[in-house]
Structure 1
Amino acid sequence: MLDVAAIITPIFLLIGVGYLATWWHIISGEQMQGVSRFVLYIALPALLIRAITQNPLEEVFNIRYLLAYGLGSLGVFTAALFYIVRLKRQPLSVGSLGALGMSVSNSAFSGYPVAVMVIGPPAANFLALSMIIENLFIIPLALVLAEVGRQSGQGVVATLRHTLKQLTRNPILIGLALGVTIAVTDTHLPAPVLKAVDMLANAAGPAALFAIGGALYGLKVRGVAAEVGEIVTGKLIIHPLCVGTCLWLIAGSDPLLLAGGLLFAGAPMASIYPLLGQRYGMGNVAAGALLAATLASFLTLSVMIGLMGCFGTLG
């Protein structure tokens, strides 16, 4: 248990530093957004480029992991959508956002910093694969369904067109494309460029955790405890269980794939979740869910890592 605490505690200490820095007004909210943009637009693309160019493509783009993580996430999304819309009789927009919160992890800002401390360099490969599923499939699906449910504003066709346009500008996907291009063409980058990419990649994890702490400052849960509890349970427990089951069925006894999938699926929901929630009338629920999931993940990730160690998954 002490070994698990040694892994998890520094991660949440960095989150706490970001929270305190914002609370004490050492860094303003706008400045913290600048840190987040640095991670998203510079450090993470550099991390993905390094991961793809330093490993054979067949190791980076593991089809079994993509299929298992995609099926597990889509299964959770579909089940959550059915539960909220059909059984609870909530609007489709509410169901779509609730399902999104349960099935999309904060892979870049939470999943990767944890995974890299547990399984090391392969975490970057799993980050790339997990974000392909999230950015190309689950998030666009949720946004289109939410717009259909709202039946106002741009409309579903315009939303789909806008979503596809935004995907072409997504820095994560651009980083993936650059990395694949460099690897396929066997381009040899100059040593100074490689060093700069390496330095930026190393900054991604700590800066992401710091930014998460700042984003948590000011989030509040007001009268939405039941909804928040359902989303947090779906995200931190049901999502990793479904992804782990799919990996076990598809990838068999590969401990590295299983560990990677569990760690990324077990991360809290994406940090943009409250922003999307505000657009569709779920601002308080989404903000409360992000806050509660981030705090609860200290316990759930600790238990998960401990169990993986007991069953030899980390061996």
Structure 2
Amino acid sequence: MLDILSITGPIYITIALGWLAKRAGLFDRGDMRVLGKFVLYVALPALLFDAVAKRRLDEILEWRYMAVFALGALATMAVGLWWMRRVARQPAVLSVVQTMGMCCPNSGFVGYPINLLLLGPVAGLILGMNMLVENLLLIPLLLALMDAASGAGHWRAVVRGAAAGLLRNPMVLGLSAGLLVSLLGLPLPAVADRTVGLFAQASAAVSLFVIGGSLAGLRIKGLGAQVAQIAAGKLLVHPLLTVGALLALEALGMPPMDAALRTGVVLAAACPMFGIYPILAQKHGHDGLAAAALLGTTVASFFTISAALWLLTGS
């Protein structure tokens, strides 16, 4: 158990320090937005570039990992929509909003630091593959479902808008630049390599600090039942269905993945939902629920991720 706490402890202590700093008035919400922009626009793109530019293309695009990650998320999406519509009897748009919180993990701000401590350099590759699946498949699909449910527009227009947004997404740009360098086999000059590395190394601590500061001031009061359903879907159903996807694909003949990637894909699914969840839910008036779910799920994830690590590592 001490080995598990040595991994999860620094993660959640850093989140708690961000929360305390915000509550103590050392930083305000605007400061957290600035730090968040630094991570989003500088540190994480540098990390993604650094993770892929120095490796061969066949090492970067591990189709088995991306297939498992995508299938686990799509299965969670299907189960979440069924549960919210048929069992919980929620309206169509709200059902999609709640399901979004179940199947889109926080790969950059939480997943990467955890995998970095446990798996080392392969964490950058895992982050890059997660970003591809999330930005090219999961988020456009969920946005299209949300707008279709509300009657706000044709799903094709939503997908086109999401595709255009990829061209402005700094993480996608960093990943694309790294893929290009890898494809061309270009060596990086030492000065450029070290500069990119400095920014990449800043991503883990600052991102966790920002998560903590962003959670300060959020409230769950009156939304407990809905938050509990979203949290259960994200922290329990998603990782379990990802394990199911992994076992099912291997039973169908997929060659086993590297042990680090097997562990990484399950831990990625076990993370709380992505930080922009309330922003995406705001368009349809459900940002309050999304923010409450983000708070509750992030707090609960300390226990579920610790349990997942114990099961995966046996220590």
Bucket of the pairwise TM-score, normalised by the shorter protein: over 0.9
String of CA shifts for 1:256-281, please: whole Å, max 9, x gaps.
22100111111100111112223222
Note the C-alpha offset of 1:167: 1.5
- Alignment match, 1:237: 236
Residues in 1 aligned to 2:265 and 2:16: alpha-carbon distance in whole angstroms:
26
String of CA shifts for 1:64-99, please: whole Å, max 9, x gaps.
001111011011011111221233332221111111
Residues in 1 aligned to 2:132 and 2:214: alpha-carbon distance in whole angstroms:
24
- Alignment match, 2:87: 87
Residues in 2 aligned to 1:283 and 1:255: alpha-carbon distance in whole angstroms:
38
Query: What are the residue-to-residue correspondences of 1:118-267 with 2, within 5 Å?
Result: 118-152=118-152, 156-250=155-249, 252=256, 254-267=258-271
String of CA shifts for 1:143-197, please: whole Å, max 9, x gaps.
1111111223x66454333222111111111111100111111112221111000
Change (3 A) 1:253 1:56: closer
Q: Which moved more, 1:85-94 or 1:124-133?
A: 85-94
Q: Which amino acid aligns with 1:297?
A: S
Note the C-alpha offset of 1:254: 3.9
- Alignment match, 1:58: 58
Residues in 2 aligned to 1:86 and 1:207: alpha-carbon distance in whole angstroms:
41
Matched, 1:300 2:299: no
- Kept in 1, the 8 Å contact 2:141–2:159? The answer is no
Residues in 2 aligned to 1:258 and 1:21: alpha-carbon distance in whole angstroms:
36
2:168 is paired with a residue of what secondary structure?
A: coil
Q: Which amino acid aligns with 1:245?
A: G
- Kept in 1, the 8 Å contact 2:64–2:257? The answer is no
Q: Which moved more, 1:73-82 or 1:245-254?
A: 245-254
1:169 is paired with a residue of what secondary structure?
A: coil
- Alignment match, 1:19: 19
- Alignment match, 2:75: 75
Residues in 2 aligned to 1:27 and 1:70: alpha-carbon distance in whole angstroms:
37
Structure 1 residue runs without a partner (length 5+): none
- Alignment match, 1:289: 293
- Kept in 2, the 8 Å contact 1:222–1:284? The answer is no
Residues in 2 aligned to 1:270 and 1:174: alpha-carbon distance in whole angstroms:
19
Matched, 1:269 2:273: yes
Structure 2-normalised TM-score?
0.94
- Alignment match, 2:34: 34
- Kept in 2, the 8 Å contact 1:91–1:149? The answer is no
Q: Which moved more, 1:168-177 or 1:275-284?
A: 275-284
Note the C-alpha offset of 1:253: 6.5
Note the C-alpha offset of 1:27: 1.4
Residues in 1 aligned to 2:10 and 2:87: alpha-carbon distance in whole angstroms:
41
- Alignment match, 2:252: none
- Kept in 2, the 8 Å contact 1:247–1:257? The answer is no
Structure 1-normalised TM-score?
0.94
Q: Which moved more, 1:28-37 or 1:85-94?
A: 85-94
Residues in 2 aligned to 1:189 and 1:11: alpha-carbon distance in whole angstroms:
31
Matched, 1:106 2:106: yes
Residues in 2 aligned to 1:4 and 1:137: alpha-carbon distance in whole angstroms:
32
Task: State percent identity of aligned pairs.
Answer: 37
Note the C-alpha offset of 1:127: 0.6
Residues in 1 aligned to 2:167 and 2:257: alpha-carbon distance in whole angstroms:
36
- Kept in 1, the 8 Å contact 2:65–2:257? The answer is no
Residues in 2 aligned to 1:116 and 1:25: alpha-carbon distance in whole angstroms:
30
1:268 is paired with a residue of what secondary structure?
A: coil
- Kept in 2, the 8 Å contact 1:69–1:243? The answer is yes
Residues in 1 aligned to 2:69 and 2:40: alpha-carbon distance in whole angstroms:
22
- Kept in 2, the 8 Å contact 1:224–1:284? The answer is no
Change (3 A) 1:253 1:163: closer
String of CA shifts for 1:42-76, please: whole Å, max 9, x gaps.
11111111111222221221000011110110110
